[in-house]
Every structure is written in structure tokens, then in C-alpha cells.
Chains A and B, each alone.
Chain A
Amino acid sequence: METVQEYRVQAADLPPRGKTLCVEVAGTEILLCHTAEGFFAVDNLCTHAAARLCEGKLKGHRILCPLHSGAFDVRDGSALTRPATVAIKSYPVHAEGEDIIIAL
């Protein structure tokens, strides 16, 4: 079976700065976050209670879970605020032209 190695987000679909975009890749939801420091990609599900982070909010480099307001650093996925204690997975991204490529 072919494994997806990367996922391209077309320039026209990219979220504006301060916003996020949830994409589904091979059954997994990935959240592309546009911060002042650039684009970062992390898992969309909170490691605490599996709420969808795309329904939360990006503030600076923190993604905030809508359920208990646990915070993760989107730059590396680390958990910043209880009740979140386990990091979310983060994915490398790079630009190709004006598109953003998420490496899986």
C-alpha cells in the first residue's frame, strides 16, 4: 500500500496569520497553524480528552483546546498548560513556491 509522504496546501487555501486550517491526510486530522513565526503543523486532537483543536484558537504560538483550555506550543507540539500534559505530534513543514508542504 502506498504511504502518503507529504501533503500540499495550495497557496489559495492557506489560513491568514493568526488562524488555522484543519486538513485530513490518510484518516488523520492535521492542523496547519499560521503564526507570526511562520507555518507549523500539529495533530488536531488534544492529547488530554481528544477535543478537536481546530475548534479552539491560535494565540501567538499557542493552540488552545476548546474543552479545557489546555495549551500546546505549535512550534514543537509540547504541552504548556494543564490539563494537557502530553505533547501533540508535530510535523515538519516547508514552503514550495507559495504552497506549504507538510511532511508526514
Chain B
Amino acid sequence: MTEDASTRPGEARASGPSVADTLASDGIPPPPPLLENCYTFLGDKDIGFGRYTSPEFFRRELESLWPRTWQWACREEHVPEEGDTYVYYIGPYSVIVVRSGEDVIEAFLNTCTHRGTRLLAGEGSGYSPAFTCPFHGWSWEINGTIRNIPGRWDFPHVKNETHDLQRVLCERWGGFVFINMDLHARPLADYLGVMPEHFRHFPLERRGVKLHVQKKLPANWKAAQEAFLEAYHNFETHDSPNGGNTQYDVFSKYVSRFIHNIGNYSPESLEDYAGDKFRQPLLTEEELLAFLGVYGIEVDGLQPGERARGVIAEKLRSHFGEALGVDLSQVSESVMLDSIEYHLFPNMFFFAGITVPMVYRFRPDGTDVDNSIFDLLLLEPLAEGAEPPEPPEPVLLDVEQSYTEVEALGWLGAIYDQDTGNLALQQQGFKTSRKPGLTLGNYQEARIRRVHMTLDEFLSNSDGAI
């Protein structure tokens, strides 16, 4: 369907069956949140390229966004015991997350209150029974209170209230530890909005980290994450039939979602795509079933009346159920198969699915406007009663390295190479264009626009709580 005089901006949708139609025809109904549909037109003005390339714009983000927004720093299982720490970097800032009591996790700025030295070096998990500055040996208990100041006689002006470690806000959701450096920020729950209710059906706190890959990407952090905020690119970037009829939801200024189906596709949604691919001839149900091969599952073919999506889901329920020790027999086709991706402002992605179980985080690489860091986690469901395992150390990939070097990613390695392969060209293209900004689809790219709108609120309101 094309947008014409009979539809208002943002009302047009791809032709053919919708995600809702697919979910309605699945054998096991999906959890109610997946049936929600929440979209309003947000505008169609171009987004200036300078927002991705300008050192001045980037500086404003460092001043007014990152020190004031909630962001997850680590998983709770990164700090399972008292004294366990996790050092998190964002731009020029660094925060220490520490388990300071059996069920107490706190966070402090990673800086000495004497002369400012970072207390802990290196990002990631660690252990500190107390914090001791390597410069002059000032030390603090793990709850941030002063423990000892060598030569205290010289510091009569130093008091706990002025020289304890500088606390930052710290809350937990879904097994993640979130921090916010702005002591006046609104609570995390205000940001999460619908997410706690939605993820009640796919609890992330009952998952464990199977894999963590951290890769440097040659593009601004927003361009990098925007490669994952829509599935419109699937046809061209991934040579995939899925994505043309993806559902997009914008629940609030912080939370958005897409759902795109796997195991079926809508040829009608590709009606004006170049060439005949996936339309002449159509992919057969048998060809769709071959997707199981990526999991090493043998395909017996379809019985009369069977559809690939249902058979794939059933095979994967038993395959993953056995492998994980989890009963997946009543899990809907959608949760088993689909790419159900929630985005939390400004830079976090949480997937609800079983076979698409990712978490993403995109950050500037230090203070470099043109480069970013992409954390990719795979979260596996835990067997009933099982404790999350110790998270694996991140696999570090540099810009030039391929995701296919990470064996544990399996077939996904090539997909992520495709996703990230456009980024250097895009960042370079931003700087070449005479046209001053990028153009977004009203529906399929609305999530990108929503992020920029909320970002503008942070940048234009540099003091108040957002």
C-alpha cells in the first residue's frame, strides 16, 4: 500500500498480512502484551547529520545526556557476593557498581575524593573488600564511607559528608543493575513504563549470560544503534524476506518496540521492492522450514496442512527445552521464534524471545564522536531453581574483526557482520552529503525519531529532571 491522499501521514502500512494477523493464526496464543499496538505519527522532518558528526553536539550529549539518564551497567550476577565490583564506563565518566551487602548493590563515581584519581582501572568485574586509591592510599568501605586517610592530621577539613565516595542512583530491573549519575533523576520505573508488565511474561531476571561480545564500531553511537531499530533493512542488508511487514510500537518517550515474524513472511509486503526476489517464485513452506538447519536440526518435511512456522516452533521448543532444562511446551510461536525487540532510551535493547534472546547496548567509544562500542549479550533462560552462572568475560572485537570469529555466535555472526558492515560507509556519507539530514519512514523508522525527540528534551532542558 502506498501513502496517498486517503491516508494521513503514518497511517499507511505494508500490504499483506500483518504481524497481528500472524500472531492470531499461531497455535499457541502469545502473551497479551504482544497483541498491543501503539503508534502515533511523530513527524517527518529530516534528522540533521550534524547530530552524528558534530563535536559540539557530541559535547552536549556528554554534558546533558549521559550524566542524567538511566543506563544498565552490568548484570546482578556480575556482582554475586559482597565486595564484588563492576566498573562501567560511559564517555569520560566511570562508575563503580558494588555489592555492599547481601542484597544491597550500590554505585559510586569512580573517582577519589582527595585528588580525583580513578579508584578502579579497567572496565568489568572485580573485587574490592575496600576501595583504596593507588595514589596516596585514601580508602573507603564498600558502602562508600571513609575508612582511612593516611596523615589524617593534615586534613582537619575533611569530613564524611564531603569526602565519602560520591554516590550515584542505582536500581535493579530484570536482573540488570542500572545507574544514573543525576541524583535528581526520576525513578527508573518512570523510564521503564510498560516494560515491567510486558517482561513479566518473559522475565529477564530468570536468564543467565551465555555470551558477551563487545565490538568497536566505526560510527557514532546513535547511527550504530539505529541499524538495529528497524527491520526495513532486512531485505537489502540481510537478503531476507522477513521484515517488510514488521510491527512498530512507540509506548512512551523512553520505550519502543518492534516485532517481526520468523518462519513465515509476507510477499505482499515486498511488492514494490526491486526485482522479483521472494515473490517470483514465492518461497515455499518447505524452503522456510529449512531455517531449522541453522540449529543443526534435521528437517523431515511437512505433513499435508502443516505450516513451516508452527513446525519450526515445535521443533525448537523441544530442542531448546531439552538443552536448557526448561519446559517450553506452552510457549507461543511468537515468543519462541520472533524478533521481539524493546528499546529503552537512550541506548538499550532487550529482546523477549527464546531463540532471539539478545540484549544490546551502544555507547560512545570514550569521547570520540565517530566511534562507538556495541555490547551484545545472549541471555539464556535458566532452569527452574537454577542460579545464574558466573557471566563469561566479554569477547573483545576491534573494528576490523568479524563476528564470525566468535564461534559461539553460530549463524548470527554473519548477520551481525552485515548489520555493522554499513556503518563506516554511513558515517562517512554523513560528512559528504549536501542534503543536510537523513530522511525517515513515517512508520518503520519512527523509533529512531522518538529517540531523537527525547534526546532533544535532555539537551534543551539541561537542569530539570526529564
**Which of A's residues lie within 8 Å of B, judged by CB?**
18, 48, 55-57, 59-62, 64, 66-71, 80-83
Contact = CB atoms under 8 A, between A and B. Distances in A.
B127 A64 contact: yes
Given A18-B390, A69-B85, A83 B121 contact: yes
A60 B134 CA distance: 24
A55 B83 CA distance: 12
A62 B85 CA distance: 14
Nearest to B118: A82
B237 interface: no
B122 A60 contact: no
Nearest to A68: B134
B160 to A, nearest CB: 22
12 contacts: A55-B129, A56-B127, A60-B393, A62-B393, A66-B127, A66-B128, A69-B127, A70-B121, A71-B122, A81-B126, A82-B121, A82-B134
B390 A64 contact: no
B120 interface: yes
Given A68-B134, A82-B134, 10 more contacts: A59-B125, A59-B127, A60-B393, A64-B128, A67-B132, A68-B132, A71-B122, A81-B121, A81-B122, A83-B121
Interface string B108-133: 00000000000011100111110010
A48 B132 CA distance: 13
A68 B134 CA distance: 6
B129 A66 contact: yes
Contacts of B390: 18, 59-60
A62 to B, nearest CB: 8
Nearest to B128: A69
Q: Please report whether the interface of chain B is mostly helix, strand, loop or mixed according to DSSP.
A: loop
Contacts of A59: 125-127, 390
Interface residues of B, number: 16
A83 B129 CA distance: 17
A83 B126 CA distance: 14
B208 to A, nearest CB: 15
Contacts of A80: 122
Contacts of A61: 393
A18 B80 CA distance: 13
A70 B127 CA distance: 9
A61 B125 CA distance: 12
Contact of A64 (B126, B132, B134): B126
The 4 lowest CB-CB distance pairs between A and B, nearest first, are A57-B127, A81-B122, A83-B134, A82-B121
Interface in B407-454: none
Interface string B380-393: 00000000001011
B387 to A, nearest CB: 13
A80 B122 CA distance: 9
Nearest to A18: B390
Which of B84, B122, B127, B390 has the most chain A CB within a 10 Å cutoff? B127
B127 A82 contact: no
A69 B125 contact: no
A68 B133 CA distance: 7
Contacts of A70: 121
Which of B84, B125, B126 has the most chain A CB within a 10 Å cutoff? B126
A33 to B, nearest CB: 14
Contacts of A83: 121, 134
A55 B129 CA distance: 9
Given A81-B121, A83-B121, A71 B134 contact: no
Nearest to B393: A60
Contacts of A62: 393
A61 B393 CA distance: 9
A95 to B, nearest CB: 24
Contacts of B128: 64, 66, 69
Contacts of B129: 55, 66
B212 to A, nearest CB: 12
A56 B127 CA distance: 7
A64 B127 CA distance: 6
